[in-house]
Structure 1
Amino acid sequence: MSLSLDTSRRVHVRAPGKINLFFEVGPVGDDGYHDVASVYQAVSLFEDVWASHADTTSLSVSGDVDVTGVPLDESNLALRAARLVTDAVGWEGGIRLEIHKGVPVAGGMGGGSADAAAALVAVNELVDGGLSASDLHALGAQLGADVPFALLGGTAVGTGRGDELAPALGRGSFSWVLVADGGGLSTPEVYGTLDRLRAEIDIAPDRALPSVDPAVLRALRSGDAAALGAAIRNDLQLAAIHLRPDLATLLDEAVSAGALGGLVSGSGPTTAFLATDDGHARRIAEHLAAAGHQVHAVTGPVAGARVV
């Protein structure tokens, strides 16, 4: 692709973080991986990415959250996403990415994946790459299971490794309180701990092929927060609590404060608590903040990566 640089052009894309409001994990396969059945919901904590032309490709990161430890080299998913787009369209110029993070880092909310999704959209727009939504999803899948969902947004069922997505029908909006206390958990360690606990206490998964509880999908379709609160579940929660016993205390504390239900989101350590409405969420958030927790009152579902 021939270079036609407009150095004043700067494309801004916003992408959401996510929670897993249902997560069922199948048995470990011969390859060491697990099939899963998940329900993802995009929530109103966002990553903002700006892309502009530059002599070389580079990255800077700031945030409303602690960004210590966010890589600035080729291991950063957003930088890899930018290179996937430029390689796909034959663009030979440099790209400057500026990221402002609003999703807690290493909390299991897919902030890095949201950065990658935003970078895919922003760079495609910046260089007039002409890649379709389907093209971008295919590139995103090369970077991890959460990147296609950050592009899609809304609420979706994920199967296989979590990257085979189908939108979930839903009505209205749900109010959540998220607690993103420190002490990130390693996803491989959480899965390994689940496998070990299953073997030790004989709690094999119910099904060889995981599937989403129909009660979750019914609650989403009807917009019934109380029914959803009763149905949310995460198989990884057992392992996460084994590694971080304080999470069990937090779950009990939030339910005692009036949450309709709560769970560890994904591999944690972020926990998500469902409220009846925004006012109820604020009251739960105030209670947990007073106890010293880092809290965010959010709503979902929200749209996926979009040009602002």
Structure 2
Amino acid sequence: MTGQAASPVPVRVRAPGKVNLALCVDRLGDDGYHRVISVFQAVSLYEDVLASPADELSLTVAGLQAERVPTDATNLAWRAAELLAAHAGVEPAVALHIVKGVPTAGGMAGGSADAAAALVACDALWRTNLPREELAELAAELGSDVPFALVGHTAVGTGRGHEVTAAMTLGEYHWALGLRDEGLSTAAVYGAFDDAGGGAGDWDDEPPTDLMQALRAGDPAALGATLRNDLEEHAIALNPALAEAVRVARLAGALGVVVSGSGPTVAALGRSAQHALAIAAAMTAAGVVDDVATAVGGVPGARVVGGIGA
């Protein structure tokens, strides 16, 4: 066993959801995966994971769309606890409680945030004291978005999206998020992308130059003009109502609008916090979304906010 005896003190860890400023997707490879280049930005919608001492592994969920979240071994947070325990040579004895603030199946990586938070929380609770680099390796085994949830802020993901490098950015960015009660299956969206022959062009191993320049300059208007998601048209084909949310956000003066990840969350970039609120109000008034939120990016990745090390 790595580290000391487990702590009797519960640990609370907070991890952010994300929007994809760019999601560039290559054709399906022979290995069954797509190469992607994703520019992630962590935003201030959060998942909280409370890890408490227990005799065995258990999981409960509360908060936004909690009824849609599994509480068994199919949950990424559960899998994260099991993976860390096996790696560190400890018993997976922990009671995990998730408080959700990120939409489920919304393209904002709420499940990945849960997994990252569970890794950090269990590492603190069990005092396994793994370096962040080692946690990141475990995170990559759990899913392609999990390593970014550890890092946060703004970063570039390559490979399957799991190889994460921090991006140079200035300023903060204000988002209006159009949410839907019914999620979209990532597998279904990628399947539609493949069926349409997606990714058939030349592949560039670098993130979009104009987008990265906008981030380095701290220029929201330039960033808005360069938002990109190669899956967007396929997400809209599966859920045509998304097109109306995109249209309304643009009419409200958004600097740029993009479907986040595989959708169905529509992310609209505002000029300011007040403008983001106005865009959200326009989407609500038009009845094109089920709910709205506003958020700022980029915020830190998974971190302890209560208990040990807080």
Provide the TM-score with structure 1 as the length reference.
0.94
Offset, 1:92: 2.5
SS of residue paired to 1:142: helix
Offset, 1:211: 3.4
1:102 maps to which residue?
Answer: 101
1:117 maps to which residue?
Answer: 116
Identical-pair percentage:
51
| Residue 296 of structure 2, aligned match among 265, 274, 299 | 299
Offset, 1:4: 4.0
**1:126-145 pair list within 5 angstroms:** 126-145=125-144
**Inter-CA distance 307–99: structure 2 relative to 1 (3 Å threshold):** same
1:218 maps to which residue?
Answer: 213
2:87 maps to which residue?
Answer: 88
- Cα distance in 1 for partners of 2:68, 2:41 equals 26
2:173 maps to which residue?
Answer: 174
- Cα distance in 1 for partners of 2:37, 2:271 equals 26
Offset, 1:159: 1.1
**For residue 80 of structure 1, what is the amino acid of its counterpart?**
R
1:272 maps to which residue?
Answer: 267
The answer to which of 78-87 and 225-234 deviates more is 78-87
- Cα distance in 2 for partners of 1:122, 1:209 equals 37
**1:41-52 pair list within 5 angstroms:** 41-52=41-52
Decide whether the 8 Å contact of 1:3 with 1:92 is kept in 2.
Answer: no
2:18 maps to which residue?
Answer: 18
SS of residue paired to 2:39: strand
Report the count of equivalent residues: 302
**For residue 49 of structure 1, what is the amino acid of its counterpart?**
V
Tell whether 2:234 aligns with 1:246: no
- Cα distance in 2 for partners of 1:245, 1:20 equals 20
1:257 maps to which residue?
Answer: 252
Decide whether the 8 Å contact of 1:137 with 1:148 is kept in 2.
Answer: yes
Offset, 1:25: 0.9
- Cα distance in 2 for partners of 1:214, 1:56 equals 49
SS of residue paired to 2:269: strand
Decide whether the 8 Å contact of 1:124 with 1:131 is kept in 2.
Answer: yes
Offset, 1:181: 1.1
**1:221-236 pair list within 5 angstroms:** 221-236=216-231
Decide whether the 8 Å contact of 2:183 with 2:263 is kept in 1.
Answer: yes
Offset, 1:234: 0.6
**1:145-160 pair list within 5 angstroms:** 145-160=144-159
- Cα distance in 2 for partners of 1:35, 1:5 equals 39
Decide whether the 8 Å contact of 1:15 with 1:151 is kept in 2.
Answer: yes
Offset, 1:30: 1.9
- Cα distance in 1 for partners of 2:281, 2:236 equals 24
Offset, 1:124: 0.5
Decide whether the 8 Å contact of 1:46 with 1:101 is kept in 2.
Answer: yes
1:29 maps to which residue?
Answer: 29
1:54 maps to which residue?
Answer: 54
**Inter-CA distance 6–260: structure 2 relative to 1 (3 Å threshold):** closer
Can you list the C-alpha shifts for 1:224-253, whole angstroms capped at 9, x where unaligned?
011001000111011111111111121111
Structure 2 residues without counterparts, runs of 5 or longer: 306-310
**For residue 174 of structure 1, what is the amino acid of its counterpart?**
Y
Decide whether the 8 Å contact of 2:27 with 2:34 is kept in 1.
Answer: yes
- Cα distance in 2 for partners of 1:264, 1:247 equals 8
Decide whether the 8 Å contact of 1:10 with 1:51 is kept in 2.
Answer: yes
| Residue 287 of structure 1, aligned match among 278, 282, 285 | 282
Structure 1 residues without counterparts, runs of 5 or longer: none
Offset, 1:6: 4.7
**1:65-80 pair list within 5 angstroms:** 65-80=64-79
**Inter-CA distance 93–274: structure 2 relative to 1 (3 Å threshold):** closer
The answer to which of 182-191 and 159-168 deviates more is 182-191
The CA RMSD over aligned residues, in Å, is: 1.5
**Inter-CA distance 30–288: structure 2 relative to 1 (3 Å threshold):** same
